[in-house]
Structure 1
């Protein structure tokens, strides 16, 4: 019976990873249907309401204040940077570059863990991290090959979005390291989603974005997107209870691949060979980081 239960929770985790892989494409679609800030604000609003219906309305007093302040601040900032970098990208191709930059966070999490708690580590961790960064540069440079001039030229085309995407990767890495210490085993994801939605609505009302116009198609996309991301977090919350975390952790490193595949189909994109090569480098670099640190037990 315990084997069946563990398989059930592991299955929940697999579905959560696949659902998260759709987020980049869905956020980009919503930004085109509505506007970058309004689309993100509505999506997180739907997700927050969905999570409340599934996980219940949270009570602030049940969570450590430090976790709410620091963890909540990092979470909200991360989600806003990610959503707006995807929504404000100049094209769908550039939006996918933002998504891949975001997936530097696993390698950065390991790097931060090493810096915070210096220990003897497998020397392969550093070239693994470098490989992930090279993969991102490869994606940004395109078929022209990597060069400083090409990278700077592409980034200067829309520097704000690149800044937000890189910031998101670093912020999420910090979030992963910090919240493990201050959360006391609590999960305030419902509160964090609600805070993200409220913050985005405040940004929207102070922005110059146009008023929101709904159609049947855009409404369905909005509801689907909010439920998808909310379901992903709800299922993952169940998966960590009794699933095979080693398997799920390994599988999660393939999210950039799943995300690129879904985006290419959903957004009708033709991604270049160089982009796929870059995605492979980011994925391989992150996996190498995970395995060389895990097998040597260098990071607790």
Structure 2
């Protein structure tokens, strides 16, 4: 399998945008998680649809039910879990636990995509997993509040959901799906999560302070990033992107701390070092022949 440099760089651009995901989600609080997910997807999906229409590619939205299930389930499921985790648990720790998805991508890419894993990548994944265990064992800097254990569990579930979505995007049955279809997935995810908000969450609406964060979410991390990531996972190197993604939680965590949404305790710093070190180790593994 030969990966193209351009799509891999597109995936890297998505990782850069996702460094802002946790901060913008926190700045949008206290908007309920499903409402926040639905509004961000509505913004991102609408902008994406306008671009697709301008390119004359609306026919790309006609896809089989399996493709829609994968796209909508992955996008809506991951973000609902992630935003709920940030609302319940200390944001720095929840954010780092969510970033088990890069190491899960590296692991899952081997059996699901037929790619070799190798001892160096396995060692890198092991270091990343050790960082996650350290966070859980130490209780993080924020302590275990009433909702923290549930928030941590949701963060781990979000990581698994995104890893499965990402790796399955490149399997033979789904790799042929055009990237333009992501606009439809975003709009459908908006409809699903907004319906969930009406059914399960208390009524509410963002105020003037929350709307800038919601709009930025929809434009970047919950908008353009999906199209870039879809291209990267389908035509780039999923193992390299999965390992380079270890840099994203560092940038994301630093942004949270800079805006007063967390602090860097000893366990967080040690966990981040293990996660990034594992990513560097795996990313420098010898390429396939």
TM range (shorter): 0.7 to 0.9
Q: 1:185 aligns with which of 159, 176, 182?
A: 176
Shift of 1:22: 0.2
Shift of 1:205: 0.6
Whether 1:273 and 2:266 are equivalent positions in the alignment is yes
Q: 2:204 aligns with which of 211, 217, 222?
A: 211
3-state DSSP of counterpart to 1:211: coil
Q: Deviations over 1:157-199 (max 9, x none)?
A: 5333222211121122222222211223322221221122112
CA distance 1:202–1:250, change in 2 (3 Å): same
Q: 1:169 aligns with which of 151, 159, 171?
A: 159
Query: Which is worse superposed, 239-248 or 23-32?
Result: 239-248
Map residues 129-208 of structure 1 onto 2, 5 A cutoff.
129-142=125-138, 154=144, 157-181=147-171, 182-186=173-177, 187=179, 188-208=181-201
CA contact (8 A) 2:91 2:262 kept: no
Instruction: Name the structure 2 match of 1:103.
Output: 99
Structure 2, unaligned runs of 5 or more: none
CA contact (8 A) 2:246 2:276 kept: yes
Instruction: Name the structure 2 match of 1:3.
Output: none
CA distance 1:227–1:162, change in 2 (3 Å): same
CA contact (8 A) 2:247 2:276 kept: yes
CA distance 1:61–1:263, change in 2 (3 Å): closer
Q: TM-score scaled by structure 2?
A: 0.78
CA contact (8 A) 1:42 1:222 kept: yes
3-state DSSP of counterpart to 1:31: coil
User: How far apart are the structure 1 equivalents of 2:288 and 2:237?
Assistant: 18
User: How far apart are the structure 1 equivalents of 2:66 and 2:32?
Assistant: 34
CA contact (8 A) 1:44 1:226 kept: yes
CA distance 1:64–1:143, change in 2 (3 Å): closer
Shift of 1:65: 3.8
Map residues 119-130 of structure 1 onto 2, 5 A cutoff.
121-130=117-126
CA distance 1:211–1:164, change in 2 (3 Å): same
CA distance 1:36–1:138, change in 2 (3 Å): same
3-state DSSP of counterpart to 2:170: helix
Shift of 1:60: 6.1
User: How far apart are the structure 2 equivalents of 1:117 and 1:190?
Assistant: 25
Shift of 1:236: 5.4
Q: TM-score scaled by structure 1?
A: 0.76
Aligned pair count reads 277
Whether 1:66 and 2:81 are equivalent positions in the alignment is no
The two structures, once aligned, show a CA RMSD in angstroms of 3.6
